[in-house]
Amino acid sequence: MKPFEIVASPDQTQLRVSGDISIQNAQECLEALRDFQGSGNRLVLDLGGVTGADVSFLQMICSLHRTCLRAGQNLTLKTKNMPEEFKAILEMAGYRRPKACTLGGDNPCLWSWRDEK
């Protein structure tokens, strides 16, 4: 399985990310995120296959979210199948938050969600 797979349907475009995403594959990640951002207005980021990540990946996701907000695109995070290990990485890095960061203005933060049942 490729680490970045874009899957388009009539109502949304999904980017499925898998594997260990870090500075080692940052260029490939950046290219996939750019292609994903340019592929539609309703974007869903599926991180269910992520087995590891570093702060460079988290920063790229935050940048993607701000770019989408400025472009009027809807970016959501699919949290239902997100691995507990990845949630722990978000917590340790200080990304999981109860409210939006100041850079997002009145928009909700991508990292503030309630766990889906």
Q: What is this structure's pTM?
A: 0.85
Instruction: Please state the φ and ψ torsions of residue 104, each to the nearest 5 degrees.
Output: -85, -5
**Please, are residues 37 and 73 in contact by the beta-carbon 8 Å criterion?**
yes
Q: Which domains does the chain have, with CATH numbers?
A: 4-104 (3.30.750.24)
Predicted local distance difference test score (pLDDT) of residue 103: 64
Q: Could you tell me the mean pLDDT of each successive run of 10 residues in the chain, 117 residues long?
A: 91 95 94 94 94 93 92 90 88 79 70 61
Straight-line distance from the first to the last Cα atom of the chain, in angstroms, rounded to the nearest whole number: 27
